[in-house]
Amino acid sequence: TGSSRPQRILKAVQKNATKGDPQSVISAIDYYCRHKEWAMNVGDDKGLILDSVLTEVNPSMALELGTYCGYSSVRIARLLSPNSKLITVEFNPAFAAIARQIIAYAGLQDKVTIVEGASGDLIPKMKERFGLKSFDFVFLDHWKDRYVPDTKLLEDCGLLRKGTVLLADNVICPGAPEYLKYVRNNPRYESRYYPSVLEYTKAEDGLEKSVFLG
């Protein structure tokens, strides 16, 4: 059988990017997915918004739900301060294996821990597994119907603190309408919508940033 899309993306990184240079890895993936074959990375347009929110938050502990090929893991990890960490959760072992190689190619393997499994199973085990108190930043980019239950789970497991920033991808396309309702009508969150486009297209999409107020 032939290669998978993530395998082809890894090949494009190995061919066109410079080992240890995260920006070249990001550019190689964006070029491939814009000109060769589309893939569900957060992409360069929404990626600039992700970068700016990250720079503002400067998290010590970051969580990503939905690794895929590791594109946004590289975007996040490249901006983390020394000793800051990213935990990224991926459901699909084949995707996780590719992401591990792309993150390592960027030279960011010491900052990123990839955990395989379902968010609903893993979130309740995070405190004990990683000895962490809470997350400073959470990037939601997994199953869109899991955004609300997993946000509630993060609250209930005491993994959010006053000021934790949640950033959700795809709130317009494919859409996360229940999530928008949940965070926008909730006194425990201060939300703001960042309009953008669906990765590598002209279709409308955007990111929702929600600050947990405790």
Ligand X SMILES: O=C(NCCCCCn1ccc2cnccc21)c1cc(-c2ccc(F)cc2)cc(O)c1O
Applying CB under 6 A, which residues contact ligand X?
40, 65-66, 89-91, 118-119, 141-143, 146, 169-170, 173-174, 198-199
Q: How far is the CB of 178 from Mg ion (least distance, A)?
A: 16
- Closest approach of Cβ 116 to ligand X, in Å? 9
CA–CA distance, 166 with 57 (Å, rounded to integer): 10
Instruction: Kindly report the backbone phi and psi dihedral angles of residue 162, in degrees, each rounded to the nearest multiple of 5, phi listed first.
Output: -55, 120
The yes or no reply on residue 208 touching Mg ion (CB under 5 A) is: no
In the chain, the DSSP E strands lie at 61-65, 85-90, 112-116, 135-140, 160-168, 189-197, 204-212
44 binds Mg ion (CB under 5 A): no
**Residues within window 160-179 making contact with Mg ion, judged by CB under 5 A:** 169-170
Active site annotation includes 144: yes
Residue 162's nearest CA partner among 213, 201, 111, 210 is: 213
Examine the residue annotation and report whether 141 is marked as an active-site residue of this protein: yes
Binding of Mg ion by 30 (CB under 5 A): no
- To Mg ion, the closest distance from the beta carbon of 90 in angstroms equals 13
Q: Does 150 qualify as catalytic in the annotation?
A: no
Instruction: Give per-residue burial for 108-128: e unless 16+ CB within 10 Å, then b.
Output: beebbebbeeebeebbeebee
- List residues with catalytic annotation: 141, 144, 169-170, 199
Where does this chain bind Mg ion (CB under 5 A)?
141, 169-170
